Each structure stands twice: as C-alpha cells, then as structure tokens.
Amino acid sequence: MLTLPKEVTIIEVGPRDGLQNEKSFVPTEVKKLFILALKTAGIQEMELTSFVSPKWVPQMGDAADIVANCLDGQTRNIVLVPNRKGFDRVFATNCSAVAVFVGVSNTFNQKNINKTTKDSLEELVPILRELKEKHYFVRACISTAFHCPYEGKISEEDTIKLCREFARAGVDELSVADTIGMAAPHEAYSLFSKLVQEFPHVLLTAHFHDTRKMALANILASLQAGITRFDTSAGGLGGCPFAPGASGNAATEDVVYMLERMGIRTGIDLDRLTAAINIVLPHLSRPIDSGFYRLHAKSVQSHE
C-alpha cells in the first residue's frame, strides 16, 4: 500500500529555470503577466529570476525590473544569486528569499561557474551566514545530485556531504536536483530516504528534469521516501546550458494533475495554470510537450 501525504508544495521555477535558456528574449511585460498568472493559479512559492550577468544569461537581463514589480506579501518570491555582486543587487531590493547553487560534480561546477565545488562552498558559506543574520530565506540548489554529463554517476555520499555543508551553514531549504534527468525511481527513493532521515529540520525539495520521461515516476518514488516539496516548471520549460542533453523540468501541470488524481492537495487550479502557459507560449522557441497541456488544449479547441 502506498504511503502518501495529504498535501504537497509546488515550487514553480518556470520564470527562472524555465526561461533562462530560451534563445529569443521573452519581453519583460510578458514575464510579469506570466508570473502574475502563475500566482493567480495558486502558486505560493516561485523562482522569479536570477541576478546573473546578462552577458552569460541574456534572458535574465531584466531581473531588477522583474523583482521591482513582482514581489508580493503572499508568495515566497525567490531570486537565484551566483556571487557577491549578485548578493549586493539583492540587498538593494525588497526581496527576502534567495537561492544559491553548487554542483556535486567538480567538472560541472567548473563549466558552470568556473570554480570547484570546494571553492564555491568556501566563498558561499560566509555569505550564507550573513544572509541568515539579515533574516533572509535561503534555498541551496544542489545540482548533479544523481548523475553528471561529464563525470557519470554521482555517489550518494558525495551528495549527502554537500547537503551537510549547506545545512551546517544554516540554509532553510535543500533543493536536490536530477540535473540531466538520468535518475531512476530506485535512486530517487534511496537518496531522499537518507536525506529525510538526516535533515529533519531542513525543507527538502526534489527537482527532476524529464529528459528521459521519468520525472513523474521519480516524484512518486520521492513521495514514498517522505518528500512533500517539488520544483516544477509550467509547460515543462527549462534545461541547463551547462548540462548537454538536459531537457525541461517536470511540467507543473502534469505533476499537479497526477497528485490531485491521487487525492493529494496542491492548491493549484489547472485551468488557470493552463492560462498562464498560454501567456508565454507565443514567445517560446519550442512547443509545450506536457501530456496534460496537449490534451487540455485539444479539449478546449474541440468545445470552441
């Protein structure tokens, strides 16, 4: 018999992780409407944008404008920050939640931010402590937690060690990512069971990419391991520019549909979520591939 929670929290990453790799710039006003529509659909936690160099991620060049216009008192609005310059930009805003990221894989980390995992941690730890002193919510994103496109399979112990370092630094949340979508359900269950046992006082979030169409299966396995928080992206948008072959994230609408069908509350309205996807759809470089969206769109068209 399945052991399931009564409710699950969805952390929407579409506006940041979902759009960061789009080749054509999505207009700032469209992003704002997309974010507002996602909140209207019931999203309570969201990655809005990232304070990265526009030279490396042009899509995030409007981050300051997004933050200035999209904060509210009801949603946890998270901004991804890669370095000290980015933190200084956050401190100049009213944003109170930040995300940092480090790859378990040294090779991935060096290709991503030109630093080893160890060097990244040494730079981040004092900043994390400063953030906690200033009462920020801090989310640590653990990339390549299962497999790496350059180093292959990552050992559970290496992932747990990195999570341990962040927990010691006082982070509020660990978002543990299957960056290239290679994790299998037994791997998801095994790693998250250990994380749940070791970090009972830290929010644990699973972040799956759907590269090999195993995201939903991995989410089910993670639910069984005790995880009740999941990163998802409306429309299944996303991918990592530094991880060859990594396609989009688990689609929010597919995950919500599955959970609600299982009797697990998400608080998200699927019709409004579909409307949010429709706002950004004309500006995307590829079609929406999620099963729920394709069927829902056909259903709507057949009734028009």
Buried-exposed string 133-147: b where 16+ CB fall within 10 A, e elsewhere: eeebbbbbbbbbbbb
Q: How far is Cα 134 from Cα 145, in angstroms, rounded to an integer?
A: 29
Query: Annotated catalytic, 148?
Result: no
Count of CB atoms situated within 10 Å of the CB of 285 = 9
Please give, one letter per residue, the 3-state secondary structure of 147-177: EECCCEECCHHHHHHHHHHHHHCCCCEEEEE
Whole-number Cα distances in Å, 69 to 30, 48, 82, 94, 236: 12, 11, 22, 11, 25
Among 95, 141, 163, 240, the one annotated catalytic: 240
Nearest to 13 by CA among 212, 169, 206, 271: 206
Whole-number Cα distances in Å, 85 to 16, 106, 207: 18, 23, 26
Q: How far is Cα 193 from Cα 147, in angstroms, rounded to an integer?
A: 18
Pairing relationship of beta strands 76-80 and 45-50 according to DSSP bridges: parallel
110, 116 Cβ separation under 8 angstroms:
yes
**Rg of the chain over CA atoms, in angstroms?**
18
Which positions are annotated as active-site residues?
240
